[in-house]
Amino acid sequence: MSPSCRLPPLLLFLPVVFSAVTHIKNHWNGGFEAETCVPVTQELNGWTLRLKFDQDVWWIEIWIGSPNKISNREYTVSSGSHQNPGDQICFNFLGHGAGDISPTATVTIDGQSGGGAPQGGSQAGSGPSNTGGGGTGGKKNYGEALGKSILFYNAQRSGKLPANNPIPWRGDSNTGDCVPGGWHDAGDHVKFGLPLSSTATLLGWSLVQFKDGYEKAGQLDQMYDMIKWVYDYFLLAWNPGKQELCVQVGDGNADHTFWGRPEDMHMARPCKYVNGGTPGADIAGGTAAAMAAGSIGYKDKDAGYANRLLEAAKSLYNFAKGHRGVFTGGAPFYGSSGDSDEMCEAAMWLFKATGDQGYLNDAKGFVDLGTAWGLGWDDKKIACQGLLYEATKEGQYKGAVEAFFNSWFPGGGITYTPCGQAWRDKWGSNRYAGNSAFMALLAAEMGIQPDKYRKWAVEQINYILGDNRHDGGCYSFEIGYGSKYPRNPHHRAASCPDRPAPCGDAQLYAGGSSPQILQGALVGGPDANDNYQDVRTDYVQNEVALDYNAGFHGALSGIVHLEAAGAMPATNNKCPC
């Protein structure tokens, strides 16, 4: 099946005049493409360019060397190449950001006398903080990868988009839904409550635990803006007066017969509900967990909004507790194996939000201490075990967490690819590795074998961001990160040319790269031998989905947190980029 918020305002810009030829080649909401040439005045055995802006620039993409972000206003780009006097260093770069700004930019070559301190108008945007080199060599820029993941969730928005929509090829869609807003599931356009709530819970957890990671990455405001889109949807989906929760918008079977833009889709989009006569504590509990986590994340940002989320989470949890059972009306899509894990998660997040011992007691009754297969939209067992250990420090919960990671680490029974990915399943191997990496970073924060868990987690994310051998190595499975990444995700909207050009089944099978770059999306991933094909029709390896990005996204915030704290582990990936 094809499982398929908002960023700050767009960025406008003027050409950057460095010292010779520089001009804007293309521009769009939130970014631009520029090219320039910098004169070389002395022999250089390796060099570092220094770009300075007088206004905030979120991040840049450049392919002549390894970019390094000093701050939102200063970047360096390094290369080991030799240059002679009279040469020029010419390059293209992409700038990303927001706001009606027109910053001045200067570029210099470090250590070179004279030359290259140009002035002029430039434009760029704001974004992730530097945490290392670019996506194609050396250290990874985890902050940049985090910012791009936020863009992916913005690309998934349903409903009427705000004026600051950062995705130029997306527009208003499905505005007549019974519950407007929210995120499309994957490359399709259904809103499925189980993966949606699971995704939102993991994203909210990352904001609660690793807020400083978002701050260091320059992504805190963007994260708040992005995730509020789904919280707003949950608040509309739950009707406490009617004791009814909308758990699905759209018909999966009908939706999957349509290939095109969500903006052009006019089929019927039926709504499905859980209520007193239709059980669905799995989705209701999961949604309560997401809103309770959101109430903590928003407490310092907007206390009134945080309270709305908390009150909705309390009433929805009480409803779920009184109407146990799983939702079966969405078959054959996202069938749940049980509701105890979601109820446990909901109880624990409400305990964290309120301190009410009753919620903790509930969670102790819901928890399953068995060893989880993985962390995903249908199985939150390991998440509940970790939350209980964090709250109680009791050995039984610590033992369950350690048993999970013992089963995931080398020698524990899980398959490892030749380049070192913990490969759980052909459906979304990147997803499961990313989710477990996030959980490992959370467990480390709880004091469970922090050195070992952090090292393993970072190595898994490094594999995803380029420490692999696909396409000659340095291949990022996150779209838009680095210079080599998937160009043909199984995603309808990204396959469509700019409007008003038509889009239909022909675009599914069209050759060449998709017209739109689905920035930040994490594709399903390789097979057990590190093999991967970038083919749009391959919905096994090239699927993208809300839940695919969730743990990966959280792990990125956790790694930037480690960088901010000076606690990055030494890693030893088998296929370093």
Q: Name 365's Cβ contacts closer than 8 Å, sequence gap at least 6.
A: none
Count, residues in the chain? 577
- What residue ranges in 179-262 does DSSP mark as E strands? 191-192, 238-239, 244-249
Question: What's the token pair of residue 390?
Answer: 């964090």
> Which one, of 220, 237, 309, lies nearest residue 272 by Cα?
237
Report d(CA 129, CA 127) in Å as an integer. 6
Task: Please confirm, yes or no, whether 362 is among the known catalytic residues.
Answer: no
Report d(CA 191, CA 276) in Å as an integer. 22
Question: What's the token pair of residue 114?
Answer: 């004279």
- Position of tokens 């927001």? 98
Query: For residue 167, how far is the Cα from the chain centroid?
Result: 15
Bridge partners, residue 48, by sequence: 78
Residue 222 region by backbone torsions, left for phi larger than 0, else alpha for psi between -120 and 50, else beta = alpha
Given the residues 188, 379, 543, 547, select the one marked as catalytic. Answer: 543
Count Cβ atoms below 10 Å from residue 208 Cβ, excluding itself: 17
- Position of tokens 């919620």? 359
Bridge partners, residue 66, by sequence: 78
Question: Residue 360 is which amino acid?
Answer: L
Question: Residue by residue, what is the 3-state secondary structure of 238-279?
Answer: EECCCCEEEEEECCHHHHCCCCCCHHHCCCCCCEEEEECCEC
Report d(CA 248, CA 271) in Å as an integer. 6
Question: What's the token pair of residue 503?
Answer: 């889009």
Report d(CA 87, CA 64) in Å as an integer. 15
* Three-state DSSP class for residue 137: coil
- Position of tokens 């970790």? 386
Question: Residue 368 is which amino acid?
Answer: D
Given the residues 177, 345, 362, 534, select the one marked as catalytic. Answer: 534
Q: How many helices (H) and strands (E) does the chain have?
A: 15, 14
CB contact burial 156-182 (16+ within 10 A = b; e otherwise): bbbbebeebbbbebbeebbeebebbbb
Q: Note if the bond before 8 is cis, omega within 30 degrees.
A: no
- Position of tokens 């980029």? 577
Q: Name 329's Cβ contacts closer than 8 Å, sequence gap at least 6.
A: 247, 248, 272, 278, 280
* Three-state DSSP class for residue 102: coil
Count Cβ atoms below 10 Å from residue 302 Cβ, excluding itself: 13
**Residues 347, 348, 350, 352: what is their CA dihedral angle, to the nearest 10 degrees?**
160
Alpha-carbon distance values, 465 to 301, 383, 422 (Å): 31, 24, 14
Task: Please confirm, yes or no, whether 534 is among the known catalytic residues.
Answer: yes
**Parallel, antiparallel, or unpaired: how do β-strands 271-274 and 244-249 relate?**
antiparallel
Catalytic residue numbers, as ranges: 534, 543
